[in-house]
Amino acid sequence: MSYPFQIKSFDEYQAAYKRSVDDPEGFWGDVASSFYWRKKWDKVLEWNFKEPNIKWFQGGRLNITENCLDRHLETSGNKPAIIWEPNDPEDRHRVLTYRELYNKVVQFANVLKNNGVKKGDRVCIYMGMVPELAIAVLACARLGAIHSVIFGGFSAQSIADRLQDAQAEYIVTSDGAFRGNKDVPLKSVIDDALVQCHFVKRVIVLTRTRTPVSMIKGRDVWWEDEVKFVETMGNPDCPAEEMDAEDPLFILYTSGSTGKPKGVVHTVGGYMVYTTYSFVNVFQYNPGDIHFCTADIGWITGHSYIVYAPLCAGATSLIFEGIPTWPDAGRFWKIVDKYRVNILYTAPTAIRSLMGFGLGPVQQADLSSLKVLGSVGEPINEEAWHWFDDNIGKNRCPIVDTWWQTENGGILISNLAGVTKAKPGWATLPLPGIQPVLMDENGKEIEGPNVGGNLCVKFPWPGMLRTTYGDHERMRTNYFATYDDMYFTGDGSYRDEDGNYRITGRVDDVLNVSGHRIGTAEVENAINMHAGVVESAVVGYPHEVKGQGIYAYVVYTSAHGDESLTRKDIAQTVARIIGPIAKPDKIQFVSGLPKTRSGKIMRRILRKIAEGELDNVGDISTLLDPQVVDEIKRGRLA
């Protein structure tokens, strides 16, 4: 496969960028033309950011799986589509060619069909990192069912919230998942979630860990039995459902600054075009390259850069079931060595944690196959950048620092490997089609070089979200109400004299813990569920490995009893309500929170204290009870 839209030089980048701004419809129409459409679109773009209403490739008809699978069969049927490395390095790995993956997707699409799944139905997928997860995702897309993948670390309560919001009647899960030396009992978590969700009609359970599970009559079926049934039918074909370009492809829940996570909706046509375009350009993917993205498919990075974009590009995508530190901290490097990986796309938090193990684990592996390194999820600090560059890329692999969000579908700001210049700690330049602007607090654009502000995008791109599921108004207030006619990202950024962007992090109440987005409000709500907690306030603080840690200030009723036990108990409550990733790192008991006379918690002060900047908390004169600040400072947990 060749990629007519692949940018090969800085001049080409500049030309593509200019055209994407001067003639966006011509530009994206050309990119989209190299995909397979059953029927071409009537109109490339229609939009306004007021309602907002965004439509790309209207009237176009297609199925994304025909682009991921069918169209590669003739020329690349025997090429590996997926390489799977199991949790335990002693176990057998698997390779699925495009032909094999196609057969499995068609087969499982028939399983879903036999179980009643139709176009437009929501299917929740809760699995570990096994090839069947990608197969389930693609099988949904083949039928036009809307998948909603939930990361395997989320709790029963989080799952129930998402199932209810999406009104998902079908679930695909497995008995359990292996992660390092743990096995996570996924099916049993689903059972707990379903106590509250009687509308769920069917649960399909894959065997992975052989953890004992209870199967509910009439509701739960085994993946393997259902596949066998399709085999006895003679493995019939499953023609792809013809979709409109603007039909939803999936829902993915993500945290915001208020309330419960929202269901970000991506649509078939634009998402396909944008993610594939970004993949081929940012990583400079060439046919035959082995691409290893270490994210979980439960997050957007896995959706876009493990499943959809690589497969649309006919690439080989490596799926790793385990964790970077098991059986030892050399696991990533051994995988690179074993499969001769060419592109390694990972997160700063993983790099920082592996740095802590020294160079021993790195030196045992041959990393000479690597050509491109990538980083995503949070700002990468210079120390981690250089360690990655020196020790993994051996100073000969470009590092792409890719900034984007669940809502964006694909990478928005990044250097293009070897084509545009890297700058440590900087995401650098916008991709063609992306028009970033910096805004000040008063809604004015900040122009010129060497300035900082709130990062917005002023023109639509094909991969952007179309709505928040079931609540379009939420999409408007979240992203389009802060600034007129702008998509507001929630991030702050600088811009230098060459037009490079350096993302400084969230400016709203969203934390980024090990690259995971967590809303402070969500954590507070979970803490407040604990009997005995009166109220709480949660802020982030700099954490050496996680990027940000979670610091909770908690007002607790009874002062007696064992404090450390109560802390453990509260952390456990959060893990039960949200999931272990949201557990506070520090819990400080306080007698009150710093509030204004109107009752608003002054988080600015709490943030400064958590950061250890005790002399720099700013003006506290407007507080109802300024004395509480001194008490909180004295009790600060180092």
- β-partners of residue 543 are 547
Exactly one of 128, 152, 460, 490 binds ligand 6R9 (CB under 6 A); that residue is: 490
How many of the other CB atoms lie within 10 Å of CB of 171? 26
Chain-centroid distance of CA 130 in Å reads: 17
Residue 520 interacting with ligand 6R9 (CB under 6 A): no
DSSP 180-219: TTEEE-HHHHHHHHHTT-TT--EEEEE-SS-------TTT
Closer residue to ligand 6R9 (CB): 87 or 414: 414
Q: Shortest approach of ligand 6R9 to residue 493 CB, angstroms?
A: 9
Q: Shortest approach of ligand 6R9 to residue 580 CB, angstroms?
A: 17
Instruction: Return all residues near 240 (Cβ < 8 A) that are at least 6 apart.
Output: 63, 65, 66, 70, 142
Closer residue to ligand 6R9 (CB): 60 or 540: 540
CA distance 46 to 460: 9
Residue 541 interacting with ligand 6R9 (CB under 6 A): no
CA distance 570 to 575: 9
Closer residue to ligand 6R9 (CB): 131 or 515: 515
SS3 449: coil
Q: Shortest approach of ligand 6R9 to residue 411 CB, angstroms?
A: 8
Of 505-513, 536-544, 580-588, 599-607: span binding ligand 6R9 (CB under 6 A): 505-513
Pairing of strands 487-495, 501-506: antiparallel
CA distance 154 to 144: 26
Closer residue to ligand 6R9 (CB): 174 or 278: 278
CA distance 556 to 550: 18
Chain-centroid distance of CA 160 in Å reads: 20
292 contacts 335 by C-beta, under 8 angstroms: yes
Closer residue to ligand 6R9 (CB): 416 or 602: 416
CA distance 98 to 108: 15
Q: Shortest approach of ligand 6R9 to residue 213 CB, angstroms?
A: 30
- Whether residue 52 is preceded by a cis peptide bond, meaning omega within 30 degrees of 0, is yes
CA distances from 376 to 130, 167, 189, 392, 571 (A): 22, 31, 29, 16, 28
CA distance 128 to 333: 21
Residue 379 interacting with ligand 6R9 (CB under 6 A): yes
Residue 77 interacting with ligand 6R9 (CB under 6 A): no
Closer residue to ligand 6R9 (CB): 191 or 378: 378
Q: Shortest approach of ligand 6R9 to residue 514 CB, angstroms?
A: 11
The residue type found at 52 is P
Closer residue to ligand 6R9 (CB): 289 or 296: 296
Residue 424 interacting with ligand 6R9 (CB under 6 A): no
Residue 401 interacting with ligand 6R9 (CB under 6 A): yes
x/- track of binding to ligand 6R9 for residues 427-466 (CB under 6 A) = x---------------------------------------
Closer residue to ligand 6R9 (CB): 98 or 299: 299
- β-partners of residue 540 are 550
| CA atoms within 13 Å, Cβ hemisphere of 479 | 28
Instruction: Return all residues near 142 (Cβ < 8 A) that are at least 6 apart.
Output: 63, 65, 105, 106, 109, 238, 240, 241
Instruction: Return all residues near 353 (Cβ < 8 A) that are at least 6 apart.
Output: 324, 325, 545
Exactly one of 378, 509, 522, 524 binds ligand 6R9 (CB under 6 A); that residue is: 378
Q: Measure the CA angle with vertex 292, ends 287 and 296; round to 5°.
A: 135
Closer residue to ligand 6R9 (CB): 104 or 506: 506
Instruction: Return all residues near 8 (Cβ < 8 A) that are at least 6 apart.
Output: 419
Q: Shortest approach of ligand 6R9 to residue 275 CB, angstroms?
A: 12
Of 68-76, 225-233, 386-394, 487-495: span binding ligand 6R9 (CB under 6 A): 487-495
- Strands (E) in 582-638, as ranges, are 586-590
Residue 506 interacting with ligand 6R9 (CB under 6 A): yes
Size of the site for ligand 6R9 (CB under 6 A): 24
546 contacts 514 by C-beta, under 8 angstroms: yes
Q: Shortest approach of ligand 6R9 to residue 547 CB, angstroms?
A: 9
Closer residue to ligand 6R9 (CB): 194 or 282: 282
Of 171-179, 314-322, 442-450, 502-510: span binding ligand 6R9 (CB under 6 A): 502-510
Closer residue to ligand 6R9 (CB): 208 or 495: 495
Q: Could you say which DSSP state residue 116 is in? A: T
Instruction: Return all residues near 217 (Cβ < 8 A) that are at least 6 apart.
Output: none
Q: Shortest approach of ligand 6R9 to residue 299 CB, angstroms?
A: 6
x/- track of binding to ligand 6R9 for residues 273-312 (CB under 6 A) = --------------------------xxx-----------
Residue 549 interacting with ligand 6R9 (CB under 6 A): no
Exactly one of 122, 517, 530, 603 binds ligand 6R9 (CB under 6 A); that residue is: 517
Residue 254 interacting with ligand 6R9 (CB under 6 A): yes
Which of these, 515, 547, 530, 534, lies nearest to 590 by C-alpha position? 534
Q: Shortest approach of ligand 6R9 to residue 27 CB, angstroms?
A: 24
**What would you report as the CA-atom Rg of the chain, rounded to the nearest whole angstrom?**
24
Exactly one of 267, 500, 512, 548 binds ligand 6R9 (CB under 6 A); that residue is: 512
- Strands (E) in 557-620, as ranges, are 586-590
Closer residue to ligand 6R9 (CB): 174 or 346: 346
Closer residue to ligand 6R9 (CB): 173 or 301: 301
Closer residue to ligand 6R9 (CB): 152 or 490: 490
Residue 405 interacting with ligand 6R9 (CB under 6 A): yes
Closer residue to ligand 6R9 (CB): 510 or 574: 510
Residue 322 interacting with ligand 6R9 (CB under 6 A): no
Shortest-Cβ-distance residue relative to ligand 6R9: 406
CA distance 557 to 567: 13
Q: Would you tell me which residues interact with ligand 6R9 (CB under 6 A)?
A: 254, 299-301, 375-379, 401-406, 427, 489-491, 503, 505-506, 512, 517
